[in-house]
Amino acid sequence: MRRRSEPLFTLGFFVVVASLFPLGLGPEPELLRRIAPGVLWVAALLASMLALGRLFGADYEDGTLEQLALAPAPLVLAVGAKIVAHWLVSGLPLVLVSPLLALQYGLPGDVIAHLMLSLLIGTPVLSLIGAIAAALTIGVRGAGVLVALLALPLYVPTLVFGAGAVDARLAGLSAAPNLALLGACLALAVLFAPLATAAAIRISLE
């Protein structure tokens, strides 16, 4: 609530990046439909990373993070709440606006529905994995670049399965295998990412 401009900045970045490709490539329906899954997913991935640098940075600067680490409540609960908040302001808006952007690429309605579903499952994974990278770079100069270097390789499976689900549906195939693998990524991330993030925070505070 104190930084209301950050969600708008993330959403604006997603909209601008996704809108530039149709303008740059021209009005070729087949080409736009073919590249739409990858473009929209990459744009969502990059947009979700914009807020990672501030995920723990402000709390570290004012000492709140140390108090959370020393509090009786488990640090993993506070970390989980921070990750949920990050997804609500940076991931969920991307899911909600994605149908409008998909129309620029001429995607049919059922494919747009699968795009929203894949983003709904995949964007929490981006927040969970990104939180680990953000925790490892707390207090480090140039943390934004380091977060990108740490998180991007770990984002590859989510990107492949998320875009693959939309691409499969666009080709007339079942998206269930890719969505199932994407759901498995989410389940693993929910189980292990908060624990790894809490451990990384304690290491960074030492």
pLDDT tens-digit profile of 70-123?
A: 888 888 999 999 999 889 988 999 999 999 999 989 899 999 999 999 999 999
Supply the pLDDT for residue 63.
81
Q: Give CA–CA dist 95/102, Å, rounded.
A: 11
> Which pLDDT value is given to residue 142?
67
Structure-block tokens of residue 98: 């994605």
Tell me the range of 44-53, 140-149, 182-191 where mean pLDDT is highest.
182-191
Output Rg (C-alpha) for the chain, integer angstroms.
18
Alpha-carbon span 33 to 163, nearest angstrom: 12
Q: pLDDT-derived band of residue 2, with 50, 70 and 90 as boundaries?
A: low
Q: Over pLDDT 90: what percentage of the chain? A: 50
Q: Which structure tokens are listed for 77?
A: 């609960």
179-183 long-range contacts, CB within 8 A, separation 24+: 179/114, 179/117, 179/118, 179/121, 181/157, 182/118, 182/121, 182/122, 182/125, 182/158, 183/121
- Which tens digits make up the pLDDT trace of 18-66? 988 888 877 788 888 899 999 999 999 999 888 787 788 777 877 888 8
Least confident among 49-63, 84-98, 126-140, 174-188 = 49-63
Q: What's this model's pTM, rounded to 2 decimal places?
A: 0.90
Say which residue the tokens 């929209």 belong to: 40
In whole angstroms, what is the distance from residue 106 CA to residue 110 CA? 12
Contact assessment for residue 36 and residue 102, using Cβ atoms and an 8 Å cutoff: yes
Residues in contact with 27: Cβ distance below 8 Å, sequence separation at least 6, in sequence order: none
